[in-house]
Chains A and B, each alone.
Chain A
């Protein structure tokens, strides 16, 4: 077993446990955006930065394994500054603020990141509403990869992919002809994990009522 301390709370963890998992065991909050406990760690959002005593720079909690004796500080000022800067950048690429119930909005609120100070390009509006139950709003996609991984690792349908590069990165179903033309099985795992409602379920009831 490996023993680490998280904000002064000692926890014993199995070999290979990540800092994020240790923090959760210790009951300490670490902000995350691309993390979903049902999926392999991805390390894309860089919001889960924490301080570790002796480390010259903050470390990503979701992909860093615990070492025996590690002293983890979840609110270390430099780490927290990076997390907040990254969340501000993410908000700045969206053409509208994420809905309050979304995971991204909640992380931003808890980190006290308000209106982004960055002007500049935002994602072009592009809503794909062809599927009866799944809406894909590309402008809200933050390329966290959770939907792609849910489709790959959880459902095994491989209907989704990351697309593009750099700021233009986004997602597509199949050959980008919509969910219905792809290998999608309408399981909804992508909508379930999406932290911004870029993919969301269209309520059957609302649809029948024509709402």
Chain B
């Protein structure tokens, strides 16, 4: 990230200037396309150079597709793919008479692809304006103009006492302020061994400790709500159903590391998240739980809710920080880590939404109680998992670590609907490996999944049924990977394009050359996007080689 641009942004933020991305998003919302006048205005208001604004305007999906009076966005996420392949896009294209990325000449309607709307429990999903419809008939209604909001199933906990799937009560923050103090809070979070729930599994306490020790006139907390992993809708549920848990977790992080402000970056694909968080933040301010002098102490903490603009890689922490500051959402090499140089060049903690939602329990009940939530394993805490539409009872469930994937699929989610059989499940998102039905007795936990080329990741469990063509799965995943590459590092930028091209036709794939490419991606890529995309391909090469059309 350019230090000069970050300094320009810091100075303009100090006088409450909007970011370039905010101005460009507002222009799109206002008139459905961007003009040079919009870009010049964004530059003037934000203080960014015009060229930098142009770069931003060419990066995010939401700024690229022209919008008509009815802007139809069809979900091309993996759950929708597992349900209906590419049929939803073809159907809407044919019936609306426009290709994705196009707008009808009379401006009445426009069509765009989007990944993913987080309605993986009721595919296919389609969004018209701000309304997300999903499930049987959703495409018909999108064509006829009768879109209606799709219902979302309730979440459930299999724990004796739910920790994440319950309303928050700010008890953790009260105890931290009244009893624990900063150092004991930090010590509790470290002792609880809260591992990051966004994919990498990095200990949250270690991140906090780095940021607490880092020197800087200001520090920041950033909640990563950019749950872009197709098939995941866990953070969506947390942000929309228990926003108070997230805000309390952020306040606790701020108290522990000495930060007075936090940002939540939520996704534009989840149009309900930002309003839910803003409503809850306003309520918390009224009750003295956010703002200055929280609960009568000298602790100040407040939050700003920011919405992204359509980019998967923005879920990577350095790209996320770039997006929060209104820049192109590209990845930066670490070091420097966000704990040293983050928002406005200041020490910053970046934690995933679910990770932060774990903190109130740790603060209220202590590390030992937290560690006891998963009695059958060393891994601490509980985990939210979610299932796709192929299952009989798809929803978000709170489970302990250490159950087998089979128990989760069969006992918790009721097996596949209509008695269909699982061919394979992809766990944790598009960068997660694919587990064949023969390995369903693997335990759902960090190390056992890693041993079979998979990961906990974001916690989604996405089933492919027996009718699925695994070469199509490879093509689907690689198309996603190539389209979402931020374009910064060469292996990912070019390599994912080449890998997708290998599977885009019916021609046989040269296995040796593919494996060389996967190695370059795994070892060479700058971030987990290029580094992780080979994981599901490796799984397919191991478990379904005969279906891939190799030579």
Which residues of A approach B to under 8 Å, CB–CB? 33, 40-47, 49, 57-58, 60, 63, 65, 78, 81-82, 85-86, 89-90, 92-93, 117-121, 142-143, 145, 149, 152-153, 156, 158-169, 172-177, 182-183
Are B5 and A152 in contact, CB atoms less than 8 angstroms apart? Answer: yes
Taking the closest CB of chain A, its distance from the CB of B70, in whole angstroms, is 26
A183 in contact with B487 given A65-B335, A121-B497 (CB within 8 Å): no
A166 in contact with B491 given A85-B516, A173-B51 (CB within 8 Å): no
Q: Which residues on the B side are within 8 Å of A45 (C-beta)?
A: 489-490
B372 at the interface (CB under 8 A from A): no
6 contacts between A and B (CB under 8 A): A42-B333, A86-B524, A89-B494, A158-B5, A161-B55, A165-B483
A49 in contact with B482 given A86-B491, A121-B501 (CB within 8 Å): no
Q: Which residues on the B side are within 8 Å of A93 (C-beta)?
A: 494
Taking the closest CB of chain B, its distance from the CB of A21, in whole angstroms, is 15
Can you name 20 extra interface pairs (CB under 8 A) apart from A43-B332, A63-B334, A162-B330?
A40-B3, A44-B488, A63-B335, A65-B335, A81-B520, A89-B498, A121-B497, A159-B51, A164-B59, A164-B487, A165-B59, A166-B485, A166-B493, A169-B493, A172-B51, A175-B51, A175-B54, A177-B36, A182-B50, A183-B49
Interface centre among A40, A47, A85, A183 (most CB of B within 10 A): A85
B517 at the interface (CB under 8 A from A): yes
Taking the closest CB of chain B, its distance from the CB of A103, in whole angstroms, is 14
Chain A residue at minimal CB-CB distance from B496: A166
Taking the closest CB of chain A, its distance from the CB of B135, in whole angstroms, is 31
How long is the Cα–Cα vector from A163 to B63 in the complex, in angstroms? 13
Q: Which residues on the B side are within 8 Å of A81 (C-beta)?
A: 516, 519-520
B265 at the interface (CB under 8 A from A): no
Taking the closest CB of chain B, its distance from the CB of A192, in whole angstroms, is 18
Which residues of B approach A to under 8 Å, CB–CB? 2-5, 36, 39-40, 49-55, 58-59, 311, 328, 330, 332-335, 482-491, 493-498, 501, 513, 516-517, 519-520, 523-526
Are A166 and B520 in contact, CB atoms less than 8 angstroms apart? Answer: no
Are A120 and B50 in contact, CB atoms less than 8 angstroms apart? Answer: no
Are A89 and B490 in contact, CB atoms less than 8 angstroms apart? Answer: yes
Residue from A85, A92, A175 within 8 A of B40 (CB atoms):
A175
Q: Which residues on the A side are within 8 Å of B496 (C-beta)?
A: 166
Q: Which residues on the B side are within 8 Å of A172 (C-beta)?
A: 51, 54-55, 58
Chain A residue at minimal CB-CB distance from B49: A158
8 A-B pairs with least C-beta separation: A43-B333, A169-B487, A161-B55, A158-B49, A85-B520, A166-B485, A161-B51, A46-B524
Are A176 and B333 in contact, CB atoms less than 8 angstroms apart? Answer: no
How long is the Cα–Cα vector from A175 to B513 in the complex, in angstroms? 40
Residue from A117, A166, A176, A183 within 8 A of B483 (CB atoms):
A166
Interface centre among A57, A82, A183 (most CB of B within 10 A): A82
A166 in contact with B51 given A85-B519, A120-B498, A153-B4 (CB within 8 Å): no
Residue from B39, B58, B523 within 8 A of A82 (CB atoms):
B523
A82 in contact with B501 given A65-B335, A158-B49 (CB within 8 Å): no
Are B498 and A163 in contact, CB atoms less than 8 angstroms apart? Answer: no
Taking the closest CB of chain A, its distance from the CB of B421, in whole angstroms, is 36
